[in-house]
A and B are shown apart, each in its own frame.
Chain A
């Protein structure tokens, strides 16, 4: 099997092994720090990986993404503050367990469930991606455009709390993607005779500005001189409730399995991501649980469900990226830039041209899961105590300085740094106004491909726009989009109609 040769490649290269282990540590710690996300860390580290061989660069960043999703559960459980949006649902039962003296048990459940979900998702990725790539290789520009439109509409309606603001965020991203030379006619668009803008807006400076600098600006608003710790509570070791018993693990297994399935399905759809998966899985499992009344007061199943789901997103979110070139998550969108920098074109042809690299990357992912799982299971409380002691007023200044250098590094161009600063201001403004920065970034990455496929479709069409209604794949995409959009709007309407307490 191809994955075995991938594992052989990984285990035969000590540098890849080192990169994976280091990435697992970095990801867990970054994810555990409130306010810092794995996406922000990856955006800052991308320029540093330019000079590394492609497998090491990709494996390092890919595993940080996986470990970061788990790392968020540490601060969600211990500090009642989600380290990442993906661990928001973990807080509901995780923190009450801490208050009842069961912090060790909660962290062990989170680690085990994350590992289970992530392995499940990666299994789907490894077994399914080549089959899907064989099919998508036969797709043409019409089908690609339908997939892009589905991604835009799903991202716009689901990812933000407001549909209008979500769609606006998506449209901003598409508009930013049109800056530069037109892909077919090479006409300058929105360049205002500026040579720097003719090559378009750089993805790396945009990412660093939107995710990193905007966070620093927001934190400068929140942090004050008196605040020397992340939280004003002590993370004390509890003597009881440290162990996870076999009976408890068995009880969590069916919950984790169903949640992993939910997470994998959500991961396949571009734009939805871990934050959606964790709440969907939590809600679903709570409704069917025999002890539903106890959920919310500290049940192990209430931690297992969201953790399994949010990590199960990771593997399948790579499927649309590798088979269609459509990133399924923010982290996948950032990985697109890494592939491009190393001269690798994402899409179905990647399995012919870079077959060994891809399976070695999958193998790195599997090893990374084992690493962060072991770190979380055995060292979770220690990491929590370490994070609690880091003075936040020192972290963000250094993130600020790193962001400036990281934005400059790719092209040794100060214009990129200026762009990063402007993107940071825009990202801060978007967060304040309730817009979605993730929707903007994903739409930006997809914009060029969507326009190219749209215009190529019209070039080959004998019927003008009717060509989009002649293909079954297109109809399928429209149905999926309509189902997702309707269910999201109905869910939001139900939530807004609930009586307020």
Chain B
């Protein structure tokens, strides 16, 4: 499957590269290198696919084995990946500090800590520490959240504005 995917991806990449506009004066233009690389990827993908087919017991994919491996699939990495995307989506909506608080809770939970008190305490401390280090000390700018922004609310409470 992997080899076949690479074979087809390489061909797709080469076809897309064929659409690049060529205004340059050099003999080969902007398409040559991407097309050569994609064709080589395609060729090596084919080599990999042939190797995979040789290692298989039969010429046809074993559907039962694929179903079995899907049932046994470990969801923990998928959880971490989903959490990363969630964190990226939350930052513009609720601000960096609040998004970090939520993400810290969830990621510590993903790595095995289940006590609510530990989760909330640690996540709150983490959000504060990261806000201080990155926003206050290093001057990294995070725009305020579209829905609400904890950091902005806290700053206005502190300054009295």
Q: Residues of A at under 8 Å CB distance from B?
A: 48, 51, 164-165, 167-168, 171-172, 174-175, 178, 182, 184-185, 187-190, 213, 216-221, 223-227, 393-394, 396-398, 400-402, 404-405, 408-409, 412, 414, 417-418, 421, 424-425, 428, 433, 451, 454-456, 458-459, 464
Q: Which residues of B contact A (CB under 8 A)?
A: 2, 6, 13, 16-17, 20-30, 33-34, 37-38, 40-41, 44-45, 47-48, 51, 74, 76-77, 79-81, 83-85, 87-88, 91-92, 100, 103-104, 107-108, 110-114, 126, 130, 134, 138-142
Identify A393's interface contact among B23, B113, B126, CB under 8 A: B113
Q: How far is the CA of A458 from the CA of B32 in the complex (A)?
A: 12
Known: A213-B84, A216-B80. A185 touches B23 (CB 8 A): yes
Within 8 Å by CB of B41, from A168, A396, A412, lies A168
Q: List 10 A-B contacts (CB under 8 A).
A: A168-B48, A182-B30, A185-B22, A187-B22, A217-B81, A221-B77, A393-B112, A397-B108, A421-B81, A459-B27
Across the interface, name the chain B residue whose C-beta is closest to A459. Answer: B26
Given contacts A189-B17, A401-B126, contact A464 B81 (CB under 8 A): no
B77 interface neighbour in A172, A187, A217, A408, Cβ under 8 Å: A217
Give every chain B residue within 8 A of A454 (Cβ-Cβ).
33
Main secondary structure of the interface of A (DSSP, over half): helix
Check B92 against A414 for contact (C-beta < 8 Å). yes
Residues B77 and A428 in contact, CB atoms below 8 Å apart: yes
In the complex, which residues of chain A have a beta carbon less than 8 angstroms from the beta carbon of B16?
190
Distance from A113 Cβ to chain B, minimum over Cβ atoms (Å):
36
List of A residues within 8 angstroms of B88 by Cβ: 404, 414, 417-418, 421
Contact A187/B21 with A404-B87, A455-B28 known, Cβ cut-off 8 Å: yes
Q: In the complex, A216 Cα to B37 Cα: how many Å?
A: 30
Decide if B20 touches A182 in the complex (CB within 8 Å).
yes
| A350 → chain B closest CB, angstroms | 27
Query: Bound state CA distance, A213 and B88, in angstroms?
Result: 14
Which residue of the partner chain, among B13, B38, B111, B140, contacts A396 with CB atoms under 8 Å? Answer: B111
A421 to B112, CA, bound (A): 22
User: Is A221 a contact of B76 with CB atoms below 8 Å?
Assistant: yes
B107 to chain A, nearest CB (A): 4
